[in-house]
Structure 1
Amino acid sequence: MDGLRWTGFESVAPELAAKGRALLTNFGVGLGYLATVRKDGGPRVHPFCPVFHNGGVYGLILPGSPKCWDLQRDGRFAVHAFPLEDRDDEFYFTGRVARCDVEVDAVRAAFLSQADTTTSSGDEICFEFLVERALLAEYPKRGEGPGWPPAYTKWTLADRNSGAVDS
């Protein structure tokens, strides 16, 4: 396992992790875009509901879906938060997934408790998304000053021993 669980990321970059999580869960349930790597090496982008549960960030992915094939074959990913309504702040993190069959029922229950839905196919494959790199771009509220450049904060797995977070 190369990346950090979300709690590990929180321990080495607490402010970045808190702001990232707030952006990913801004609408109550986790919402973002999941980018995966196709078999031919190209990118594939999907809407995605990350689930924060028990110190990790998880995804419930339907078996047989293109994103499931991509994650099983090549576990690399990027998750990007949906934009806010009043500003253009951005957060994304990248890394690799780990399949987690043990947590699937608990993650499904956590998702259903957060989501405004009662639907689940019940046969999703559960992946934990491990953090290797993260980037936050913070902009002023719309109409409150120059919008460019944003204030960037980044973290990489190589920074974990130094505690460095670049701003």
Structure 2
Amino acid sequence: MSKKRINLDPKQRSFDFDTPIQEYETLRIKLLAGPEKPLRVESYEEACIEIAGTVKSAIRSWGGSREELVDAINAYFGTSKRLSIHMLNHYLSKPTEYPLPAVLIYAIQHITGSLETIATLAQAEEARVISGEEVRKLAIGKLDDAIAEMQRLKKEFRGIKK
């Protein structure tokens, strides 16, 4: 008897199963490798410049202007004139003369959605900051591992019973 040949519709969309698996594997390898090389800060001035640089980068990636950021920071803390555009410009342009107050980082990371400044501070101590999405991916990965282990044990147990 001959086997019936199955014709596939060429217009049918195929699913890319390999990409999510590859992304998962890449993330897993990166996480298992450990933190990056610690960023050693040599001086007070260098630390001020590094923090100002990460804040500037966060503002650029956010896409808003410095004026919008000042308004948002003042709204975040519930004041109208706590921070002026002139002071923010000083903090970012002359960071060694006017170091950025740490309390502003709360508002900046909330408004811009960037954890870059905090990540830089953590990297100096060989630590890593991860977002909520990354935490959820880690939890899913742990659940996947636990489910796989439970299924393996279940198969093993069934094999013993017989």
TM-score with structure 2 setting the length: 0.27
TM-score with structure 1 setting the length: 0.27
Q: Which has the higher strand share?
A: 1
Rg bigger for which structure? 2
Q: Which has the higher helix share?
A: 2
